[in-house]
Structure 1
Amino acid sequence: MALEVNKLVGGYSSVPVLKDITFDIKDSELVGLIGLNGAGKSTTINHIIGLLTPFSGSIELNGITITDDLKKYKGQIAYIPESPIVYKELTLKDHIEMTIMAYDLDPDEAWKRAHSLLKTFRLDNKLDWFPDNFSKGMRQKVMIVCAFMTNAKLFIIDEPFLGLDPLAVSDLLELITERKRQGASILMSTHVLDTAQKYCDRFVLVHEGRVRTEGTLEELKREFPEAGDSLNDIYLTLAKQQGERNE
């Protein structure tokens, strides 16, 4: 088992945003985190990566909690945020070298992977450029390169397709598939449901800070036979049902 989130309650103030969130991600599994804006997806991610402290509940990554061993816990995670985070004073080369130091990677092996990724995402001639001046799509590619050059056990990817051109989307999906094959676990939050349906092994649907339902597409279809055959149909049906309950 890679990631286990158990009865997580948390948020940004004294009022919890997350209410008893429970799910897991196994080795070699891609799980889609699905929900409306404000459902609690980003808050869940921020707890997993350690930016927020749970009010109660637990988060374990390969049997380790963040309080057990902060460095070992975080060293297993590579995170690609929805809004790329780059350092104004650093070149692309500096970002890669900083990643090598942060994850204590072997420089020769890490640079070999980095060069391959830079070529894939057409950044190999921009090592001396400052990503702060890049377009959002190019900065997103910097985040992808820095994440996938690591040996992370868990990749957390938040809305990865926004701003990427179709070729970069295809390249990212190939990377995700390859890391899955190598045994990594991946949590992906996205509103691009047709892509999620094609690539995710299971889904966790979050609504108003709770796990509304989870499972494979076939399991979701059996649970909601009236919804239709696609993940988009199921998602819309759940959203409408919840909206009607709240009226």
Structure 2
Amino acid sequence: MLDAHIVEAGYEASAGTIRNITIQVQPGELVGLIGPNGAGKSTSIKTLLGQMQYANYHVHIGGNSRYAYIPEHPVHYDYLTLWEHLDLAAAVYELEYESFRQRAEALLRRFGMWDVRHDLPGSFSKGMRQKMMLLVGFIAEPDMYIVDEPFIGLDPRATKDFLILLEEERSRGAGVLMSTHVLDTAERICDRFILISGGAAVASGTLADIRQASGKPEAALFECFDILT
């Protein structure tokens, strides 16, 4: 569903921040992109999205070639209501209106945002804004999700709803690349991992592969992370 190789990318010419990173996601697979702060996770995601001016890379998205990006920090238009944000996303994806309306209503009720659908996001809490990003990302049912630190600001119920919805999307064949620092959750839900440190991939594969790379065959992901980074 996603096949990408980053030869080098950075914020200045001839000054690569990340290098030689391969990212592949199969249909229905959840791949965790993990690493310490400043390791290059966000730069890798920006490169995949074509946001880096200085980058040597290639990326291919399979399926319907439609992807959704859910950013770490919520972004919104101050003058658009929550419903109007969803409507705008539907227009960008060229969704049929009745299908959009039904899915939007279901998502709003699922995440407890129905009563504020006509409110401006400037009045929302941080957690509500994060849920708005999830709603916008899930509205189009793309074949590929790129998600950056989705758990920040979410309460336990919203986190549960997000994980259930993510599993539903994977069951229909959607792939997911997710950057996160919540390693206990990542260990439980991810099929494979790409561990980045110092701008390069230091280990990748299943949890068993990561354990082998760390020399700790019975270790938790957190301990492997500590050893490898």
Instruction: Report the TM-score when normalising by structure 1.
Output: 0.88
The answer for unaligned runs of 5 or more in structure 1 is 64-71, 240-247
1:229 lines up with 2:219 in the alignment = yes
Aligned partners of 1:8 and 1:54 also within 8 Å: no
Give the letter aligned to residue 3 of structure 1: L
Cα-to-partner distance string for 1:131-187 (whole Å, 9 max, x where unaligned): 122111000111111111112111111111111000000000001111010100101
Give the superposition deviation at 1:96. Answer: 1.1
Aligned partners of 1:8 and 1:20 also within 8 Å: yes
Give the superposition deviation at 1:4. Answer: 1.0
Which one of the candidate residues 191, 195, 198 is aligned to 1:208? 198
Q: How far apart are the structure 2 equivalents of 1:8 and 1:91? A: 41
Give the letter aligned to residue 28 of structure 1: G
Give the superposition deviation at 1:200. Answer: 0.3
Q: How many equivalent pairs are there?
A: 228
RMSD: 1.5
Tell me the secondary structure at the aligned position of residue 114 of structure 2: coil
Q: How far apart are the structure 1 equivalents of 2:57 and 2:182? A: 30
Aligned partners of 1:18 and 1:40 also within 8 Å: yes
Tell me the secondary structure at the aligned position of residue 125 of structure 1: helix
Which one of the candidate residues 138, 141, 146 is aligned to 1:156? 146
Identical counterparts, % of pairs: 39
Give the letter aligned to residue 58 of structure 2: S
Give the superposition deviation at 1:224. Answer: 2.4
Q: How far apart are the structure 2 equivalents of 1:132 and 1:11? A: 33
Instruction: Report the TM-score when normalising by structure 2.
Output: 0.95
Which one of the candidate residues 71, 89, 95 is aligned to 1:105? 95
Tell me the secondary structure at the aligned position of residue 89 of structure 1: coil
2:22 corresponds in structure 1 to: 22
Give the letter aligned to residue 25 of structure 2: I
1:57 corresponds in structure 2 to: 57
Give the letter aligned to residue 236 of structure 1: D
Give the letter aligned to residue 4 of structure 1: D
